[in-house]
Every structure is written in structure tokens, then in C-alpha cells.
């Protein structure tokens, strides 16, 4: 119910979700949206619930205008969706949702293999097609460069988390390899920590976009869960002890510069 209220309150067109905790073939049902998911396949037999998992909710109106298909779901924690305009096959948008388990966790993966798999998929996106990658990367990259200084002409990134972990450097090296950059702190309405809990504050959730398409991604905003609760849970409808997420809501808008007309979609994500 909290997720449904959040989707409707913020009028989201596309919502990417990391750590869905779904098992088997279970899905997330929200009226007016279609679900595309990749649940974690290998769960301990005695586990009470799922872990990991990624998925995307897409508004029916978008699905009516685009043919929406799963472009790739071969790697656990990486889901690519292709949206192809029904009236013009050259008008395509790719959306990727990512969940990279934390370092030193029982579910940790080989981070280099993870980014290599992601890099391979980025290279398969046809030249000129818009795409973005978003989710929980569990990478703290401080103010590390996400582009090649002196070669890539990018606006400075506003940084709020100056701590780093071992994934942070690998993450930024991946970005320079695929000519992508972090949207957080650029073209921003409000930048903030994306993980907020009693365990601390950090930035581990990002939207990643191609260098050459940075200008079509705007109004980036981080909304803390505490504010979401104030806005949609004030009536005491929910048991807040059970539904408060650790991660903030990241939102942005994208203007798709299609060949026949400009199309505005409000592409938004929550981890």
C-alpha cells in the first residue's frame, strides 16, 4: 500500500525498484501500471523472504504508446527494458535498473564481473538511442571523477557524501569506460543523501546517463523517506515501523528528442 500511494502521489510514469525481495514468479501489482521484474533466482531454502531483485513499473499510458519488452535479464541484479515507439521504430529508449549487493555481504558478487556484464550491455545499445541506468549501486564514490579530466567537458557535480568504499573507484572507472556520468548533483532541483537511517547517511543510489545526452535529463531531485511520510502517510494509514525504507526517492525528467516530435516523460525511480 505504501508503494501504491507513493506512485500515485508523485504521478510517476516509470518507477525503477531495487531490492524488491520477491521470490519465484511473484510480481508487484499497481493499478494503472505494468510490471517488469527480475527476481533473485538463488534463495536459501530456509529464507523467510526473498532478497535482492529488481523491477520496473511502467504506466499503462506509456505502454500504449510504446512496445515495451525486456531487452536483457541474463545477469542477476541487472534488468534492461526497451521502449520502442509504436508509430516510429527509430524512436527507442532503454531503461536499466541495477542492484549491486553490498561489499562484504553474504550476497556479495564479483564486482568486476558485474560491471563487465553491465558494460557489455551498454555497448549493445544502438548509437544515438537514449538510455539511463539507475538503482542501488552500493558504491560510495566521494568526489571521484566520473569523466576524463581535460577531455570530457561536463559540468561540476555537487557532492554531499565525501566518503568512499572499494566499489566507488570501480564504479567511476566503469563510468569513464562507457562514456556515462552521474546525474546526481547535476541538472538538480535538490541533491541529498540517498541512504538515510539510524546506521548513517550516504549516497549509494545513482542515475547514470550518457555524457552526450546529459542535457535531456533535468530536474533531478532526492526526496527523503521522512518527507514522503509527511506527504502521504499523515493520516496514520500505514504501520510506519514496517514500511519505512532506508533509501530515498530519486526523480528526474527526460525530454526525448524523437525524430517526429519531442516527447516528455517523467522518468522516476525509487530504490
* Structural domain includes residue 151: yes
* Structural domain includes residue 263: yes
Specify the number of domains making up the chain: 1
* Structural domain includes residue 196: yes
Q: What is the pLDDT of residue 242?
A: 57
CB atoms within 10 A of CB 44: 8
Q: What is the pLDDT of residue 186?
A: 97
Per-residue pLDDT of the chain (271 residues; tens, 9 = 90+): 667 778 878 889 999 999 998 988 899 999 999 999 999 876 544 455 557 899 999 999 999 999 999 999 999 999 999 999 998 877 899 999 999 999 888 778 999 999 999 999 999 999 999 999 999 999 999 999 999 877 788 999 999 999 999 999 999 999 999 999 999 999 999 999 999 988 899 999 999 999 999 999 999 999 998 888 888 765 555 555 555 678 999 999 998 876 655 455 554 544 4
Cα(223)–Cα(194) distance, integer angstroms: 8
DSSP character for 86? S
List the one residue out of 7, 11, 18 whose CA is nearest residue 246: 18
Q: What angle do CA 178, 209, 9 make, to 5 degrees?
A: 150
Contact 36, 56 (CB under 8 A): yes
* Structural domain includes residue 249: yes
Largest CA distance in the chain: 54
Q: What is the pLDDT of residue 243?
A: 58
* Structural domain includes residue 228: yes
The phi and psi torsions of 5 (rounded to 5 degrees) equal -65, -40
Q: If you search the block for the grid coordinates 499510458, which residue do you land on?
A: 61
Q: What is the pLDDT of residue 94?
A: 97
Q: What is the pLDDT of residue 271?
A: 42
* Structural domain includes residue 58: no
> What predicted TM-score, i.e. pTM, was given to this entire model?
0.90
The phi and psi torsions of 12 (rounded to 5 degrees) equal -80, 140
**Containing H/E element for 256?**
strand 249-257
Q: Mapping DSSP to helix (H, G, I), strand (E, B) and coil, where does residue 130 land?
A: strand
* Structural domain includes residue 148: yes
* Structural domain includes residue 224: yes
Q: Residue 265: which CATH number? A: 3.60.10.10
- CA distance to 116, 221, 231, per residue, from 253 (Å): 28, 10, 21
Q: Mapping DSSP to helix (H, G, I), strand (E, B) and coil, where does residue 115 land?
A: helix
Range of the domain at 243: 72-270
Amino acid at each position: 500500500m505504501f508503494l501504491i500511494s507513493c506512485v500515485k502521489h508523485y504521478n510517476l510514469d516509470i518507477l525503477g525498484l531495487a531490492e524488491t525481495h520477491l521470490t519465484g514468479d511473484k510480481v508487484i501489482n499497481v493499478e494503472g501500471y505494468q510490471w517488469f521484474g527480475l527476481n533473485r533466482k538463488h534463495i536459501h531454502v530456509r529464507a523467510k523472504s526473498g532478497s535482492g531483485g529488481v523491477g520496473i513499473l511502467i504506466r499503462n499510458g506509456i505502454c500504449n504508446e510504446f512496445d515495451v519488452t525486456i531487452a536483457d535479464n541474463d545477469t542477476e541484479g541487472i534488468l534492461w527494458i526497451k521502449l520502442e515507439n509504436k508509430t516510429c521504430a527509430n524512436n527507442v529508449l532503454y531503461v536499466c535498473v541495477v542492484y549491486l549487493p553490498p561489499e562484504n555481504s553474504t550476497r556479495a558478487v564479483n564486482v568486476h564481473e558485474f560491471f563487465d556484464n553491465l558494460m557489455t550491455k551498454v555497448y549493445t545499445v544502438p548509437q544515438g538511442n537514449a538510455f539511463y541506468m539507475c538503482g542501488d549501486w552500493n558504491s560510495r564514490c566521494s568526489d571521484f571523477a566520473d569523466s576524463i579530466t581535460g577531455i570530457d567537458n561536463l559540468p561540476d557535480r555537487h557532492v554531499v557524501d565525501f566518503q568512499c568504499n572499494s566499489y566507488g573507484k570501480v564504479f567511476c572507472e566503469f563510468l569513464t569506460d562507457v562514456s556515462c556520468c552521474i546525474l546526481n548533483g547535476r541538472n538538480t532541483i535538490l541533491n541529498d543523501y540517498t541512504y538515510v537511517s539510524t546506521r548513517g547517511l550516504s549516497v549509494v543510489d545513482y542515475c547514470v546517463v550518457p555524457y552526450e545526452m546529459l542535457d535531456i535529463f533535468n530536474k533531478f531531485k532526492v526526496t527523503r523517506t521522512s518527507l514522503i511520510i509527511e506527504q502521504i502517510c499523515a493520516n496514520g494509514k500505514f504501520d510506519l515501523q514496517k514500511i519505512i525504507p532506508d533509501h530515498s526517492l530519486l526523480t528526474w525528467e527526460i525530454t526525448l528528442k524523437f525524430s517526429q516530435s519531442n516527447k516528455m516523460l517523467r522518468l522516476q525511480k525509487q530504490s
